[in-house]
Structure 1
Amino acid sequence: MFLILAVFFLALLAAAALGFARLMFWLVGMLGAVSAPVVMTELPTGAVPLPGQRREVV
C-alpha cells in the first residue's frame, strides 16, 4: 500500500515539475517575443548580450 502511494506521489511530483518547467519556458518565450523588437532596435547588428546585461550603442 505504501509503495503504491509513494509511486503515485512521485508521478504527481514529476508531472507538477514538468508543468512548471513548460510554464516557465512559455513565459520566457512570451517575454522574449515582446522584448525582442526593443532589444533589436537598441543593439548594433551582431551584438548578443547576456540576459540582464545592457550594451551601450556607440
Structure 2
Amino acid sequence: MSTHAWQKSSYSNANGNCVELSGPLGLIRDSKDPEGPRLSVDVAAFVRAVKVGRFDR
C-alpha cells in the first residue's frame, strides 16, 4: 500500500493513460498500475525537460 501523495497532471484525461508524480520524493508511476514499478527522478531536471518539450511526440 502506497503512503505517498500522488498527483496527476492537470492535462490528464479520463481514459486512465496517465503518469502520476510524488513531487517531494521524485517518484513517477503509471496511474493504471499504482502498485507497480516506480521511477526515481531528479524533479527539477524532469520539469525542465517537460517544459522544453523533450518528451513530446
TM-score using structure 2 length? 0.22
More helix by share: 1
Give the TM-score normalised by the residue count of structure 1: 0.22
Which structure's CA Rg is the greater one? 1
More strand by share: 2
